[in-house]
């Protein structure tokens, strides 16, 4: 049985006060279900990670970074290492989010190094994959996801990969209000799970969690979650509103 997993990616939003307030409201509103029935994580901006982690230290909500750098330390101005994230109480980290891929220009090769560094540093990576609208329209969804998954997980052992969560986030559904239909999400997740079975083994494929992301709202969460291969949700905009995020968590239980 895969435990449902709901993560809120705050992206470049909130401030020092509102980040802590939002985290506290999420913690108090989900205390009956977080951890026991559903893994819940929030992904604040780097600068608020520590204060959010402190505010959540007595709760069952996990803290995730939105990105990481692959080197352990040294002259890498502006970058943040796995050990720094671990040090301030992070347990998860997003790797290869579509905005890192398409706005910042991260490559599969760089993302692979980040996943490996996260695992080596004791963090749990959430590897994000997903096609652009033009790629979907050209019938290339499976090809793109295949490439991102194989390259993103390159040279990692089965044991390492078993600590990874996959997030399928079609780029055309992110921040557009145009969510994938439950069938589209299920098709992509089924493809990913079968691919993982081929790449590793059936057991790993059955156990790994695959989250859907892209315009998830309280109104569509209840239709996405019952899909057989949708194990959770990676929520952007709606995670900035405590009531909406809590409603999404409830839909995942």
Q: Which residues on neighbouring strands pair with residue 187, listed in sequence order? A: none
If binding is defined by CB under 6 A, does position 64 make contact with ligand 13P?
A: no
Q: Quote the least distance from Cβ 236 to ligand 13P, whole Å.
A: 2
Binding status of residue 169 toward ligand 13P by CB under 6 A: yes
Tell me the closest approach of the beta carbon of residue 42 to ligand 13P, in angstroms: 12
Please state, in angstroms and as integers, the Cα–Cα distance from residue 59 to each residue in 36, 52, 233, 245, following that order: 12, 11, 20, 16
Is the Cβ of residue 125 or residue 213 nearer to ligand 13P in the bound state? Answer: 213
Q: How many CB atoms lie within 10 A of CB 181?
A: 13
Give me the residue label for tokens 């390159």. Answer: 154
Q: Is 97 a catalytic residue?
A: yes
Alpha-helical regions (H) of the chain? 16-29, 46-55, 82-87, 98-99, 108-120, 133-137, 141-152, 158-161, 182-199, 202-207, 218-224, 242-252
**The only residue of 129, 174, 208, 230 in contact with ligand 13P, by rule CB under 6 A:** 174
Contact call for residue 72 and ligand 13P (CB under 6 A): no
Residue 44 touching ligand 13P (CB under 6 A): no
CB of 204 to ligand 13P, least distance (A): 24
Q: Is 234 in the site for ligand 13P (CB under 6 A)?
A: yes
From the candidates 97, 99, 131, 135, give the one annotated as an active-site residue. Answer: 97
Closest CA to 112 of 159, 146, 148, 76: 148
Q: Which stretch binds ligand 13P (CB under 6 A): 49-57, 158-166, 190-198, 236-244?
A: 236-244
Cβ proximity to ligand 13P, 13 vs 83, nearer residue: 13
The size of the interface with ligand 13P (CB under 6 A), counted in residues, is: 14
236 part of the interface to ligand 13P, by CB under 6 A: yes
Q: Which of 99, 106, 169, 189 is catalytic?
A: 169
Nearest to 11 by CA among 249, 250, 245, 238: 238
Q: Does 175 contact ligand 13P by CB under 6 A?
A: yes
How far is the first Cα of the chain from the last one, in angstroms, to the nearest whole number? 13
CA dihedral of residues 82, 51, 212, 137 (deg, nearest 10): -80
For the packed helices 182-199 and 141-152, what is the interaxial angle rounded to 10 degrees? 40
Is 125 a binding residue for ligand 13P by CB under 6 A? The answer is: no
Q: Is 93 in the site for ligand 13P (CB under 6 A)?
A: no
Q: Which residues are catalytic?
A: 97, 169
Residues that bind ligand 13P in the complex, under the rule CB under 6 A:
9, 97, 169, 174-175, 213-216, 234-238
């Amino acid at each position: 049985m895969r435990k449902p997993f709901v993560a809120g990616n705050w992206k470049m939003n909130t401030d020092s006060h509102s980040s802590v307030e939002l985290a506290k409201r999420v913690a108090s509103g989900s205390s009956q279900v977080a951890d026991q029935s559903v893994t819940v994580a929030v992904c604040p901006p780097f600068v608020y990670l520590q204060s959010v982690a402190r505010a959540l230290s007595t709760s069952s909500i996990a803290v995730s970074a939105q990105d990481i750098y692959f080197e352990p330390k040294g002259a890498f101005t502006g970058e943040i290492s796995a050990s720094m994230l671990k040090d301030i109480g992070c347990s998860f980290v997003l790797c290869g989010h579509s905005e890192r891929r398409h706005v910042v220009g991260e490559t599969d090769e760089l993302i692979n190094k980040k996943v490996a560094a996260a695992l080596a540093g004791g963090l749990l990576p959430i590897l994000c994959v997903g096609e652009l609208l033009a790629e979907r329209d050209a019938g290339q969804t499976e090809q793109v996801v295949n490439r991102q998954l194989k390259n993103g997980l390159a040279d990692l052992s089965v044991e390492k990969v078993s600590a990874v969560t996959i997030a399928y986030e079609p780029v055309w559904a992110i921040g557009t209000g145009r969510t994938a239909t439950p069938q589209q999400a299920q098709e992509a997740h089924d493809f990913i799970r079968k691919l993982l079975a081929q790449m590793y083994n059936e057991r790993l494929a059955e156990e790994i969690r695959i989250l859907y992301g892209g315009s998830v709202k309280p109104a569509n969460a209840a239709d996405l979650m019952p899909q057989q291969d949708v194990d959770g949700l990676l929520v952007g905009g709606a995670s900035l509103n405590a009531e909406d995020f809590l409603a999404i968590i409830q839909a995942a239980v």
